[in-house]
Amino acid sequence: MNIFRLAGDISHLLAIFILLIKIWRSRSCAGISGKSQVLFGMVFLTRYLDLFTSFISVYNTVMKVIFILATLVTIYLVFFKFRATYDSNNDTFRAELLVIPIAGLAVLVNHEFSLFEILWTFSIYLESVSIMPQLYMISKTGEAETITSHYLFALGLYRGLYIVNWVWRYYTEQFYDWIAIVAGVVQTLLYCDFFYLYITKVIKGKEMSLPA
Amino acid sequence: WINRQIKDEL
């Protein structure tokens, strides 16, 4: 554990709770892509199967359980409790076009051909693109509430901080995992456009709107 | 080096 990794995890946790609080307080999931949330649910459920096979630390176990539960609650709020507010007409990204090729890629390109390792690889690849339905939705409607943009910023920052953590670990522990690194870089790059808009608009107190 | 059994990162 190092400071970058810890900051990344806190940023990730913050993102998930910003989204939950936004939905709960406004009693609405307007502007939120349910598809992205389902993809994140799949990411956590396939990656954290090792909860049942290996104990790493209390921190590790608690964080995994929180990520899974909080994401499942978010999915419940979007598709059940506040379903009437879910903007499904604008949540039209074809998520299966991500999931199917990624499942194939995980089977072909992995560290070890075993069930848990392939599922872990699938979750790493899938996480890198899971935000695409949400970004697509924002570009389609041309706007995002300020709180939604805080959510996206925290979520993007998380993987960016993990990259710094990987650089740190490479020099201090000679540890690297190229699957995580490549996918993490792709994931962070997807947010670049958004980061630019966030810094130039949201921080200056303006609503986020994207050029058509 | 990759620890295939235990992955400590989230």
- Closest residue by Cα to residue A14 from A192, A114, A211, A151: A151
Given a cut of 80, is residue A207 above it in pLDDT?
no
Task: Decide if A75 is inside a domain.
Answer: yes
User: What pLDDT is recorded for position A211?
Assistant: 60
Beta bridge partners of A208: A144
| pLDDT confidence band for A2 (50 / 70 / 90) | very high
Collect all residues with Cβ–Cβ distance below 8 Å to A89 and sequence separation of at least 6: none
Q: Residue B6: pLDDT above 80?
A: no
Distance from CA of A90 to the nearest CA of B (A): 31
**B1 confidence band (pLDDT: 50, 70, 90):** very low
Domain membership flag for residue A209: no
Range of the domain at A179: 3-202
ipTM entry: 0.84
What confidence category does residue A58 fall into, taking pLDDT thresholds of 50, 70 and 90? very high
Phi and psi dihedrals of A197, rounded to 5? -65, -40
| A40–chain B Cβ distance below 8 A for any pair | no
Instruction: With respect to residue A127, please indicate whether it lies within any of the assigned structural domains.
Output: yes
Q: At what angle do helices A132-141 and A146-173 cross, to 10 degrees?
A: 150
Residue of A4, A6, A60, A162 for testing the chain B interface, max B β-carbons within 10 Å: A60
Q: What's the pLDDT at A124?
A: 98
The answer to whether the Cβ–Cβ distance between B10 and A64 falls below 8 Å is: yes
Find the CB nearest B8 among A56, A67, A162. Answer: A56
Tens-place pLDDT, residues A149-194: 999 999 999 999 999 999 999 999 999 999 999 999 999 999 999 9
Residue A98 counted as domain residue: yes
Q: What is the pLDDT of residues A95-115, one digit of tens each?
A: 999 999 999 999 999 999 999
pLDDT exceeds 60 at position B2: no
Cβ-defined contact of A5 to B6 (cutoff 8 Å): no
A210 inside domain: no
Task: Kindly state whether residue A145 falls inside one of the protein's structural domains.
Answer: yes
Q: Quick check: A143 and A210 in contact, CB under 8 A?
A: yes
Q: Is A172 on the interface with B (CB under 8 A)?
A: no
Q: Classify residue A212: in a domain, yes or no.
A: no
Does the distance separating the beta carbons of A111 and B4 come in below 8 Å? yes
Residue A65 CA: distances (Å) to CA of A61, A135, A142: 6, 26, 34
For the segment A49-76, the average pLDDT, to the nearest whole number, is 96
Q: How many domains does chain A have?
A: 1
| In a domain? residue A208 | no
Query: What is the predicted pLDDT for the residue at A209?
Result: 73
